[in-house]
Amino acid sequence: MNLFSHLECPLCHTTYDPRQIQTYCHEDFHPLLAKYNLQLGLSKSNLSSRPHDMWRYRELLPLNNDQFKTSLGEGFTPIIDLNTLGKKHNQRLLMLKDEALNPTGSFKARGLSMAISKVKELGLRKVSIPTAGNAGSAVSAYATRANIKAKVFMPKLTPNVFQLDNEIMGVHVHKVPGTIVDAAQSMKNQLDDTWFDLSTLKEPYRLEGKKTMGYEIAEQLNWQLPDVIIYPTGGGTGLIGIYKAFEEMQALGWIKDIPTRMISVQVDGCAPIVQAYIKGVAHAKKIESPAPTIANGLRVPSAFGDRLILDTIRKSKGSAIAVSDSDIMHAMRHFAQNEGIFLCPEGAATFAAYEELTLEGLISPDDQVLLINTGSAYKYIENIMEYELAGFQPLVHVLN
Ligand SMILES: Cc1ncc(COP(=O)(O)O)c(C=O)c1O
């Protein structure tokens, strides 16, 4: 039985029909959230016999008919104890959830498995997306599998591998000067509304796939949540989704408290959420001309879900911090040399943030800390090589 009941704007509380395709609240210009009949209850013991992928939380996902499920085995990525670094930092427990092991090499697989399944269930045939890279690869894979047409728009300054893997799957990529915001504008200018817009949080389904990270974290840690989660934030679906899962599990009685402080990491050339968090305001101001970075997924000058991201950080008593490309490269090497794990730049940013936050006393030795490596380092080889070649100077993208 599916517990999905409706979609709702968290600002005006208008409800939306779950049997029709929905986008966002046009009144408040705000994302919609999927709501479930959690009071009907669901026992976590149901999970024990199910396959280890994100669809084991089936009742808590907004798909009505399994016939439309479009899956490549996404989810249930490992949580790895970081024994060496944990000891060096005198940390009670330091862990990594490694999302690089998902199909198409990133956590974006979860959101797009969910969204493409829903799009198929609702009978749509064409989708489009602006992307910093990883979401494009996932759209191409899942749309192809579901026999749905896709178009992908990405900033020119994206490693070429992201264009290549989309095109190998037969999906055309439009490279656009500027940032993901410019790619979104170009998409809007070129496509009519027969193409369903999968932009971050402009539709409510991707978030539901991403939230399965939160369910997994609880289940894998024997229903004891960590004290701190550090998450690299661009559009913010990962951070919002994990916490949404925690709140749903609390309503279901699967967990008692939510002790977890959600920490958002951005890059110092593009840190709208960090700036808004420090100023204490509800909305983030768009960053004009954000600096290039090796962490493409974090070059998001304005996030549609800014309010939800900031709410999540604040209600969890978390924090937000910016790191530099040089911090990221240093963290990437240090991490790899101690743990044998090659983090993507966004993942390395979480370790750079962890080191800084321990120095500032915002993480104490007694905390149990979970870092999220959101994607595969191997897709960023071009960025890393260029950065190294430039002698640790600010990135100049020679290939674009
Ligand atoms: C590897 C990686 N990490 C983090 C992010 C940011 O994710 P979110 O939009 O959930 O904040 C992205 C987005 O493109 C990404 O590709």
- The predicted structure's pLDDT at residue 166: 97
Query: Alpha-carbon distance 232 to 134, whole Å?
Result: 14
- The predicted structure's pLDDT at residue 395: 47
Candidates 3.40.190.10, 3.40.50.970, 3.40.50.300, 3.40.50.1100; CATH matching 79-102+206-389: 3.40.50.1100
Report how far ligand 1's centroid is from the alpha carbon of 45 (Å): 32
Atom from ligand 1 closest to the CA of residue 240:
10
Q: What is the mean pLDDT of each run of 10 residues along the chain (400 residues)?
A: 95 96 97 98 95 98 97 98 98 98 98 98 97 98 98 96 96 97 98 97 98 98 98 98 98 98 98 98 97 96 98 98 97 97 98 98 98 98 89 46
**pTM assigned to the model:** 0.96
Report how far ligand 1's centroid is from the alpha carbon of 237 (Å): 8
Atom 7 of ligand 1, nearest CA residue: 234
Which of 110, 134, 199, 230 should be mutated for ligand 1, with most atoms under 8 A from CB? Answer: 134
Cα angle at 10 between 238 and 226, to 5 degrees? 35
Which of 162, 265, 298, 371 should be mutated for ligand 1, with most atoms under 8 A from CB? Answer: 298
Report how far ligand 1's centroid is from the alpha carbon of 374 (Å): 7
Atom 14 of ligand 1, nearest CA residue: 297
- The predicted structure's pLDDT at residue 390: 77
- The predicted structure's pLDDT at residue 357: 98
Report how far ligand 1's centroid is from the alpha carbon of 318 (Å): 19
- The predicted structure's pLDDT at residue 399: 36
- The predicted structure's pLDDT at residue 21: 93
